[in-house]
Amino acid sequence: MMRELEAQLAGIVGEGGLQQGGGSEYSVDGVVPGLVAFPESAAQVAELVKVANANGLKVVPYGGGTAMGLGMTPERVDLVLSTKRLTDTPHDDRRDMTLSVGAGMTLSALNARLAEDNLWLPLDPPDPERATIGGLVAADQSGPLRHGLGTLRDHVIGMKVISAEGKLVAAGGRVVRNVAGYDMCKLHIGALGTLGLLVEVSLKLAARPQANAIVLAKLSSVADAEPLIAAVLDSSLEPVLLELVSGTACGAATAGLLPDGAVVAAGFAGNGQRVAWQAEAFAALVASQSLQLLASRSGNEAQTAREALAEVHGGDSADVVLVASVLSSQVAELLTRAAALSEPRGVAMGAASHAGKGLARLFLRGEEQALTEVTHAAREVVVERGGSLIVAKAPPKLKPLLNVWGAPAGDLAVLQAVRRTYDPNETLNAYRHATAVRGAA
């Protein structure tokens, strides 16, 4: 039976389009897939999913692999569906500032292509050379620029997905406009492909800024960050990024571009004169609070510093990565409390936060029992403040102990009902999302 099924799948993608899943390259939390497929078109994806769904196979989509640590560990992976060959550009209207790309195109490849016309997709997640557009949408990944330039929810205007039944479904459109009705694109952003496998994304582009600058302020302690961040948010400044990083997160990941300790970074982009004025105004705020001005960088140096700040959020060297959402006024306190919870347990902690948006990542390294204790204690701190905390990365054997997605959201039942409607067999990324129902057929 399996040989016949494998032959059927191979017939869809052609020679070289299907391989045995042995090895770790496409494993998910250590679960090695039975097969890996490399479709070249949406039609091939549709046929693969249709066959998988009809035969009870569990399918996991795979882009660049940069966010595969997110979610619960799957019980089994029958078929990994790689999007690496889905890199076409079926619609390109740069005059209208829109573009449609295959889900497998990487962010760096897209922006290199757009640079010819002085355009870009203003996102800066970690590892843009590997991160695919489809993967970024599925995992809802962004970076420091989210503060002033938005997230994928602001840039995605349409998409095409393959349903669990193997049907091509279009959502949104190719033009920037507001239309009546529910925005179906929003459902797919962050859904990990559980409502349909992304094959094409339509994007709203932006003109590259004329100038950019980053100003760094060194803090005596993380607690010093809150007055400075509040002052920036209450001012007329319009930073495109406002970051607070601390501890070991500021070490090797930034290749010496940032010092160890606590740092607030403010970035500005746009008209040259306005960027220069804003950088000077931020430096004045730093001085007014008796903080140390580390550096003010512009041009290519600012670009390098911004990329370093984005890479900090990857947390590659951490054993556990926690992502907390709180008020911007609570970020500094959260980082201080988390450090106090970590140190006595022998856990090394670093942190990077989109401070102006209240989103903080905690990077933990230590023994398993201590990591478990710190995770639960940090979640209590966050929940007490009305926030939420998820585990974005952890060793597979720890995940069941950490409650990866946290307490069920109030709308979980509604979201599970939506998922059952779209994928009643949980064929797509089974078990991994917060809406998963263990034991699904």
List the domain boundaries for the chain: 91-207, 211-311, 320-402
Q: What's the confidence (pLDDT) of residue 1?
A: 58
Instruction: Round to whole Å and give the CA distance between 108 and 124.
Output: 10
User: What is the rounded CA–CA span in Å between residue 183 and residue 171?
Assistant: 8
Tell me what pLDDT residue 441 has. 33
CATH T-level assignment (fold) for domain 211-311: Alpha-Beta Plaits (3.30.70)
CA angle 406, 412, 417 (to 5 degrees): 145
Containing 418, the helix (H) or strand (E) segment is helix 412-422
- The answer to whether domain 320-402 has CATH 3.30.70.2740 is yes
> For each of the chain's 441 residues, which pLDDT tens digit applies?
578 999 999 999 998 999 987 667 899 999 999 999 999 999 999 999 999 999 999 999 999 999 999 999 999 999 999 999 999 999 899 999 999 999 999 999 999 999 999 999 999 999 999 999 999 999 999 999 999 999 999 999 999 999 999 999 998 876 555 444 557 888 899 999 999 999 999 999 999 999 999 999 999 999 999 999 999 999 999 999 999 998 765 443 444 556 667 999 999 999 999 999 999 999 999 999 999 998 889 999 999 999 999 999 998 889 999 999 999 999 999 999 999 999 999 999 999 999 999 999 999 999 999 999 999 999 999 999 999 999 999 999 999 999 999 987 777 788 888 888 889 999 999 888 887 755 433
pLDDT of residue 132: 99
Strand segments, DSSP code E, in 173-261 are: 197-204, 206-207, 211-219, 241-247
| Cβ neighbours for 301, distance < 8 A, ≥ 6 positions apart | none
Any residues with CB less than 8 A from the CB of 94 and at least 6 apart, and which? 114, 117, 119, 205
The span from the CA of 242 to the CA of 43, in Å, is 43
Is residue 239 within 8 A of residue 193, CB to CB? The reply is no
Predicted TM-score of the model (pTM): 0.93
Q: Which fold has domain 91-207?
A: 3.30.465
Which residues face 19 on adjacent strands? 36
Alpha helices in 255-367 (DSSP H): 272-288, 299-312, 331-342
Residues paired with 316 in a beta bridge: none
How many CA atoms does the CB half-sphere of 102 hold within 13 Å? 19
Same fold? 211-311, 320-402: yes
- Alpha helix segments (H runs only) across 201-360: 225-233, 272-288, 299-312, 331-342
Q: Which of 201, 206, 212 is nearest to 121 (CA)?
A: 206
